[in-house]
């Protein structure tokens, strides 16, 4: 089996997004809103996007596969959204795991 080359830029972007995520967690309150002109953006979408990017680039670097990094990042953000909407029963986690495993198997199938 041939091992792929790990791109350094994935690790660099992963570390930068992780630093930004830590900055968001430490310095800003959950009720904080970015305001520009007459538009206010809550911190939650920025937080979820940063979590996704951090996990996406980290796992893309670890697995040397963008698709698997995308699946792990999307799985985590979806789970956090379910927790946010107070859908905390174990059944939702099981269904979510089955859904993402099925997607991974579907996209990894080669004819």
- Separation in Å, CA 71 to CA 7, 8, 28, 29, 111: 19, 21, 28, 29, 21
Segment 60-86 mean pLDDT: 93
> What's the pLDDT score for residue 1?
46
H/E run at residue 39: strand 39-42
Q: Give residue for tokens 């991974």.
A: 104
Per-residue pLDDT for 4 more than 70? no
> What's the pLDDT score for residue 3?
67
Per-residue pLDDT for 111 more than 70? no
DSSP SS3 for 51: helix
Q: Return the minimum-mean-pLDDT range out of 36-40, 45-49, 68-72.
A: 36-40
Cα–Cα distance between 50 and 60 in angstroms, integer? 15
Q: Give residue for tokens 């520009």.
A: 36
């Amino acid at each position: 089996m041939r091992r792929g080359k790990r791109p350094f830029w994935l690790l660099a972007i992963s570390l930068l997004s992780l630093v930004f995520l830590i900055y968001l967690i430490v310095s800003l309150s959950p009720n904080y809103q970015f305001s520009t002109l007459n538009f206010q953006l809550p911190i939650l979408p920025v937080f979820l996007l940063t979590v996704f990017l951090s996990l996406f680039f980290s796992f893309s670097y670890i697995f040397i596969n963008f698709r698997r990094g995308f699946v792990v990042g999307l799985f985590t953000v979806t789970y956090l959204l379910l927790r946010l909407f107070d859908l905390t029963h174990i059944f939702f986690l099981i269904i979510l795991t089955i859904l993402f495993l099925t997607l991974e198997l579907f996209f990894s199938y080669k004819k």
